[in-house]
Amino acid sequence: MKLLILAGGFGTRLQSILPETPKALAPIGGVPFLAFQLEHWIAQGINSFVFLLHHQADQIERFLNQSKAELLRNCEVFSLIEPVPMDTGGAVAYAIHKLGLEGDFLVTNADTWLGSGVAELTVSRAPAMAIVRRDNASRYGQVKFDDTKTVTAFVEKNAVDAPGWINAGIYRLRADMFRNWNGLSFSLEKKAFPDWVKQGELQAIALKTDFIDIGVPEDYQRFCRWVESGRMDKLCN
């Protein structure tokens, strides 16, 4: 199944420590974060990638070109540079339009490490969202769902520390769900997902796995420490 990778954001939260580097290429012991991601996605059976780019796109394309001889040697790789920032939903719709995509595909964030999820989404039906449970979900906001694993609501981020299920940042979607796109930018999280919830269509795929969003300095540094200490296997269990 094709994997669309959202890698066009400005990375504003991480710019305080990595002002000249896109989040996807944040160095982990001298190795770009994206190299770890690609190796992990390939190990889960993905060999077709579409990178959705905008900010600092040239750096990511340079890395992809350098990786084609080894890491990506058996993979199909496309990249698209948005003419203007399209947000997450607009980026996906733009790719569908430009590449003529049909049927189902996966979408994920370039800056979110997830120990598993590809296999579980491959046997789900679109639209589906992977979720993970956090002891403190206040930073992310919560995903509510019923006994049939149908998403019923999203709870906004708040200052109250409480456990809950959160959006894990990987989805199974379908091209025809974007057929009415008007060419403008829009957010999957703020627009598309709430619409699909109202229609009773969005499924929650609960994962018991490691999750880390390196988009904030403290979690980026935590990921660095795990890798440097040789505990990479902890991220994959």
7-19 residue pLDDT tens: 988 656 777 777 7
Q: What is the pLDDT of residue 232?
A: 58
158-195 residue pLDDT tens: 766 789 999 999 999 999 999 999 999 999 999 999 99
Q: Tell me, what amino acid is at 88?
A: T
Entry pTM: 0.92
81-128 residue pLDDT tens: 999 999 999 999 999 999 999 999 999 999 999 999 999 999 999 999
pLDDT at 197 over 90: yes
